[in-house]
């Protein structure tokens, strides 16, 4: 399946039961809500998906079952975040084998690689698979920036096609577009900068709070595409206090609590993460409750 690298791509949470096993029933409920809202793809195994806690067997199940659930409607993309090049290549091979349509790729984990090392890492993985690749560029959290000069080199590989842009510098969208045109597709990777980034020229949004609010997220994207910026801004203003729950070390717990509130998820996380407690839980729940109470009526699209 061809990936256009545009629109809303949810970085979905992994659903667990109270016994710490995969909850594929509730996972299916959420995926159906995403598809009904009109998302353009599904991303598995990111930070929100608690990938670092998943076994190889669980990742296999998630890929194969998600491919079955979407039934060709949208592409399924798996995140790869590994400590070694060999492990990343192995993960890419497994993704292809299990039916994933594309890869989101982080730089080497737990080691601040040089530019030369980072380039070699991405190049070796790109050369090992035919799957299309989106580079996750997040120097704030992962301490490695993929610069435009580095992308110039990486784009010699035809299957490196997109960037999840999380530098927090909205002007970087202009630089990328000026230099590469549509050769490098851009998806916003920061919920609280999504509207600004898409107005500036990004092709879409790798979203987090879409996990709980798929219709509102898709509406913002579609309104921007239609040039109806004022209407998009009205929803975005309502959404902002909730979107800020994504830029937190407890983003998984926050978003899962929001999923519970909208009826398309559970709160179970995998240790060492634990559900929110005390004053922080009260604070987050208040934000979610206020959002639900003032939830906007969406325009016809």
pLDDT tens-place string over residues 176-214: 999 999 999 999 999 999 999 999 999 999 999 999 999
* DSSP per-residue codes, 234-258: HHHHHHHHHHGGGSSTTHHHHHHHH
Torsion sign over Cα 25, 30, 36, 41: negative
Element (H, E) at 97: helix 85-98
- Choice among 48-52, 64-68, 119-123, 187-191 with the minimum mean pLDDT: 48-52
- What pLDDT does 237 receive? 98
Q: Are 179 and 171 in contact (CB under 8 A)?
A: no
In a domain, 171, yes or no: yes
Q: What totals of helices (H) and strands (E) does the chain contain, helices first? A: 12, 8
Would you say residue 173 lies in a domain? yes
Q: Give me the mean pLDDT over the 71-85 stretch.
A: 96
Whether 300 maps to a domain, the answer reads: no
Going by the DSSP 8-state scheme, the letter that residue 183 receives in this structure is: S
In a domain, 90, yes or no: yes
Instruction: Decide if 258 contacts 286 (C-beta within 8 A).
Output: no
Question: What is the average per-residue pLDDT within 143-152?
Answer: 96
Query: Does residue 137 have a pLDDT over 90?
Result: yes
pLDDT bin (cut points 50, 70, 90) of residue 247 is very high
Does residue 95 fall inside a structural domain?
A: yes
* 78 bridge partner residues: 44, 103
- Residues forming beta bridges with residue 103, ordered by sequence position: 78, 133
Place of tokens 């239609």: 226
As a whole number, the mean pLDDT across the chain is 97
pLDDT score, position 26: 98
Pairing of the two strands 204-207 and 42-44: unpaired
Q: Does residue 87 form part of some domain?
A: yes
User: Which pLDDT value is given to residue 162?
Assistant: 98
**What's the number of domains the chain is made of?**
1
Nearest Cα neighbor of 285 from 271, 298, 267, 300 is: 267
Residue 165 in any domain: the answer is yes
Average pLDDT of the segment spanning 145-154: 97
Q: For residues 189 and 293, what is the distance between their CA atoms, to the nearest angstrom?
A: 27
Looking at residue 19, its pLDDT comes to 97
Helix (H, G, I), strand (E, B) or coil at 291: helix
Cα gap 279→298, rounded to integer Å: 32
Q: What mean pLDDT is predicted for residues 256-273?
A: 98
Report if residue 2 sits inside a domain. Answer: no
Q: Which two tokens stand for residue 272?
A: 């060492």
Report how far apart, in Å, the C-alpha atoms of 257 and of each of 7, 46, 52, 164, 266 are. Answer: 25, 18, 20, 25, 7
Query: Residue 1's pLDDT is what?
Result: 86
* pLDDT classification of 111: cutoffs 50, 70, 90: confident
- Is the pTM higher than 0.95? The answer reads yes
**The pairing of beta strand 185-188 with beta strand 204-207:** parallel
- List the structure tokens of 32: 């159906």
Residue 73: CATH number of its domain: 3.20.20.70
Buried b (16+ CB within 10 A) or exposed e, 144-179: bbbeeebbeebeeeeebbbbbbbbeebebbeebbee
- Find the domain containing 108 and state its range: 7-293
pLDDT band (50, 70, 90) for residue 141: confident
């Amino acid at each position: 399946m061809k990936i256009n690298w545009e629109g809303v791509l949810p970085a979905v949470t992994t659903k667990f039961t109270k016994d710490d096993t995969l909850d594929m029933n509730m996972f299916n409920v959420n995926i159906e809500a995403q598809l009904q809202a009109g998302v353009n793809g599904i991303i598995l195994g990111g930070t929100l998906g608690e990938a670092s806690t998943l076994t190889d067997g669980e990742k296999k199940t998630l890929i194969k079952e998600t491919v079955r659930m979407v039934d060709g409607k949208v592409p399924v993309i798996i995140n790869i975040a590994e400590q070694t090049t060999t492990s990343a290549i192995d993960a890419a091979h497994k993704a292809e084998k299990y039916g994933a349509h594309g890869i989101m790729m982080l730089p080497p984990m737990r080691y601040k690689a040089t530019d030369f090392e980072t380039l070699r890492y991405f190049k070796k993985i790109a050369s090992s698979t035919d799957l299309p690749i989106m580079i996750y560029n997040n120097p704030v959290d992962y301490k490695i920036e993929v610069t435009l000069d580095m992308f110039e080199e990486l784009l010699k590989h035809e299957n490196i096609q997109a960037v999840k842009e999380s530098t927090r510098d909205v002007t970087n969208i202009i630089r990328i577009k000026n230099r590469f045109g549509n050769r490098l597709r851009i998806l916003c990777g920061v919920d609280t900068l999504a509207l600004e980034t898409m107005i500036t020229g990004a092709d879409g949004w790798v979203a987090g709070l879409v996990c709980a609010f798929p219709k509102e997220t898709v509406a913002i994207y579609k309104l921007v595409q239609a040039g109806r910026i004022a209407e998009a801004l009205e929803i975005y203003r309502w959404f902002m206090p909730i979107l800020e729950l994504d830029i937190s070390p407890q983003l998984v717990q926050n978003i899962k609590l929001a999923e519970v509130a909208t009826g398309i998820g559970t709160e179970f996380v995998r240790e060492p993460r634990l559900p929110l407690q005390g004053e922080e839980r009260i604070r987050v729940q208040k934000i979610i409750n206020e959002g639900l109470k003032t939830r906007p009526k969406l325009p016809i699209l």
